[in-house]
Chains A and B, each alone.
Chain A
Amino acid sequence: MNFWIIQGLNGLAFGSLLFILASGFSLIFGLMRIVNLSHGAYFMLGAYVGVSAIEAGVNFWIAILIGGGAICILGTLIERFILRRLNGQPLAQVLVTLGIAFIIADTCVWIWTGDPRPVPMPRELAGALRVSNLAFPIYRLFVIGVAFALAAALWLLLERSRLGAMIRAGVDDLPMARAMGIRTSLLFSAVFCLGSALAGAGGVLAGPILSVYPGLDSDMLPLALVVVILGGVGSLVGAFVGSLLIGFIYSYGQALFPDLAYVILFLPMVLVLTLRPTGLFGRQAI
């Protein structure tokens, strides 16, 4: 029983990190039809920037802001000066983001070498919360809290704000949104900036749990893709449910069948693509 609870918590924490990454990826894809293959690299680069900040003596919380902010700036520049030039050529945009992902990945090895970097936990969140004979690491609980708060904030942003209404209109029908006078280029920049910032900040936040290593990007990117395939395009609820689902599957899978944890990831994908190609919460096929 204890095993299931602890692994469940681990799954929830991993799913939470995944959500921070995948929500931005899904929003960008849903709105801009850009499959941002750099997203995993943003996550990793954000984590490395955060590590360097911490090693330079910066407080963990500031490091999250620095990581998120750095990637936000990088993403905005890439969107503004590269992706926008390729407007209306989705395949070209994908290839560019793939190229950028390689450049970032290799640059990280260059700067931070090939050795994994452990990320120290903020002191105030070290230790565990004890409930009867179970010990829950506080940091993981905190990450879960952050993801839920983020989900709520994004939901409010999308459902209750003017910006959100414009984003939703754009996801549903971009030409129509444009015809209604929404300045889509500004909207695109805002969403890409938000998604990048989330990826970068998420990377730093993931540091104490996953640590930072070359290949973190290749580990995370396909999971984000799987989340979107499962959850459906541009659906926040889909990204949330998909992330937690993958988090649980991955966590239990790795504990129960360590060799096969990755094979098990096939199963939900096979099922969803076969039975419901729009994804669980999507309205259009990807």
Chain B
Amino acid sequence: MRVPSSMISWLVAVAALLALPWLVTSDYYVNIASQIVIAAILALSLNLLIGFGGMTSLGHAAYLGVAAYLSIYLTAHAGFGHLAGALIAIGATTVLAMLFGFLALRASGLGFLMITLALGQILWGVAYRWASLTGGDNGLGGLKRPHPFGLNLMDPAIFYYFVLAFLGIALWCIARFVQSGLGQSLQGTRDQPRRMRALGYEVWLIQWLSFVFAGFWGAVAGLLYAYYHQFVSPQTLHLTTSAEALLMVIAGGTGTLLGPVVGAALVVILKNIVSAYITRWLILLGVIFVAIVLFMPEGLVPGLTRWVRALRNRPPADKPADAPSVAKGPAR
């Protein structure tokens, strides 16, 4: 009984995603959907580290921002073609992830978090101060969306399908990764690093490879981000962007495949709604962080489910979430 019903809900979800541009007629909503999809790719990649690797990074905006800066700089300012610019941007950002992974994995737990944060903020400082290259506070623009296979990406609906295709590929690759030898090894190192070493696993290498893999998908999100906004500013690299990505991951529930997608939708929608009425998004972001940690350490979606169940006074139907909550996860 279970399998068909989950199959049906999958099909419904996919059909709804595909039909979305017809369901919501306004370009404004289609664009928000595109934002969600791009944010979801970023959150998925961060969840590889947090949920499956137990490595809480506060510098994931680095890959989003660097790939965005590079692709805009290369195509709009250095005369590269779209394809070359995109490939170089993603390639170079992945190389950056190799370096950052090497540095951050010199430590674990809180040290890892501090190093990722410091590296990310240094990049933000670079983007902010190296104005001759990055445009400083004014940011970098002038990018025109490409026309791959003759598709007009300026059309919001077509752009939405374009990024949705990338989300599909990302989900597929990450789903495979999670069940693969490397992905399973990563989850083992999250739970029992010492044991894994004794079993013959090179824990450092497994974490580093996963870090680079996550960096790659962060770069993909960055490229799409650049196409969407056709503009990038230091804000993209700022700690708040990393924190938003982190919030998407913990809001949706860490260590699940689709949680980050739900989290991305929640955060993007909330941010758009709130920004329409007040300018104090950052305060709300802070309050949400404090509230989640204090009241729902296992994540917003699992936490709400728990609350609803508690209200109905029913015991939980399934086993506790498979992944450790961010808040209670291994720290050292």
Q: Touching in the complex, A and B, CB below 8 A? A: yes
Chain B min CB distance to A21 (Å): 14
CA distance A59 to B113 in the complex (A): 40
Say yes or no: A259-B129 contact (C-beta < 8 A), given A95-B293, A98-B289, A277-B107.
Answer: yes
User: In this assembly, does A118 line the interface, its C-beta being within 8 Å of a C-beta of chain B?
Assistant: no
Contact of B243 among A82, A102, A266 (CB under 8 A): A102
Say yes or no: A285-B283 contact (C-beta < 8 A), given A100-B290, A259-B130, A261-B129.
Answer: no
Kindly list chain A residues whose C-beta atoms are within 8 Å of the C-beta of B288: 99
Q: Closest 5 A-B residue pairs measured CB to CB?
A: A99-B289, A102-B286, A286-B111, A222-B121, A92-B327
Contact A90 B122 (CB under 8 A): no
User: In this assembly, does A270 line the interface, its C-beta being within 8 Å of a C-beta of chain B?
Assistant: yes
Contact A226 B129 (CB under 8 A): no
User: In this assembly, does A94 line the interface, its C-beta being within 8 Å of a C-beta of chain B?
Assistant: yes
Contact of A92 among B122, B285, B293 (CB under 8 A): B293
Interface string of A240-276 (1 = CB under 8 A from B): 0000000000000000001111110110011001100
Say yes or no: A218-B239 contact (C-beta < 8 A), given A102-B283, A102-B286, A106-B280.
Answer: yes
Say yes or no: A92-B106 contact (C-beta < 8 A), given A102-B285, A102-B286, A222-B117.
Answer: no
CA distance A258 to B297 in the complex (A): 43
Q: Closest residue of chain A to B240, judged by CB?
A: A102
Contact B293 A218 (CB under 8 A): no
User: In this assembly, does A206 line the interface, its C-beta being within 8 Å of a C-beta of chain B?
Assistant: no
Interface string of B14-27 (1 = CB under 8 A from A): 00000000000000
Interface residues of B (CB under 8 A from A): 56, 58, 102-103, 106-111, 113-115, 117-119, 121-122, 124-126, 128-133, 238-240, 243, 246, 250, 280-283, 285-290, 292-294, 297, 326-329, 331-332
CA distance A229 to B108 in the complex (A): 13
Contact A259 B132 (CB under 8 A): yes
Kindly list chain A residues whose C-beta atoms are within 8 Å of the C-beta of B327: 86, 89, 91-92, 95
Contact A263 B126 (CB under 8 A): yes
Count, chain A residues at interface, CB 8 A: 48
User: In this assembly, does A96 line the interface, its C-beta being within 8 Å of a C-beta of chain B?
Assistant: yes
User: In this assembly, does A198 line the interface, its C-beta being within 8 Å of a C-beta of chain B?
Assistant: no
Q: Closest residue of chain B to A275, judged by CB?
A: B106
User: In this assembly, does A110 line the interface, its C-beta being within 8 Å of a C-beta of chain B?
Assistant: yes
Say yes or no: A102-B289 contact (C-beta < 8 A), given A262-B125, A286-B110.
Answer: yes
Contact B328 A110 (CB under 8 A): no
Kindly list chain A residues whose C-beta atoms are within 8 Å of the C-beta of B293: 86, 92, 95-96, 99
CA distance A62 to B111 in the complex (A): 37
Chain A min CB distance to B237 (Å): 11
Chain B min CB distance to A60 (Å): 30
Q: A228-B114, A269-B115 are in contact. List 8 more A-B contacts (CB 8 A).
A: A82-B290, A82-B294, A99-B285, A102-B243, A218-B121, A260-B126, A261-B129, A286-B114
CA distance A141 to B151 in the complex (A): 64
Contact A106 B282 (CB under 8 A): yes
User: In this assembly, does A101 line the interface, its C-beta being within 8 Å of a C-beta of chain B?
Assistant: yes
Interface of chain A residues 105 through 142 with chain B (CB within 8 A): 105-107, 110
Say yes or no: A90-B286 contact (C-beta < 8 A), given A98-B58, A225-B118, A261-B129.
Answer: no
Q: List 28 A-B contacts (CB under 8 A).
A: A82-B294, A86-B294, A89-B328, A89-B331, A90-B110, A91-B329, A94-B56, A96-B290, A98-B58, A98-B243, A99-B287, A99-B288, A99-B290, A102-B243, A102-B283, A104-B286, A106-B282, A218-B238, A225-B115, A226-B122, A229-B118, A269-B122, A273-B103, A274-B106, A277-B106, A285-B108, A286-B110, A286-B111
Kindly list chain A residues whose C-beta atoms are within 8 Å of the C-beta of B125: 219, 222, 261-262, 265
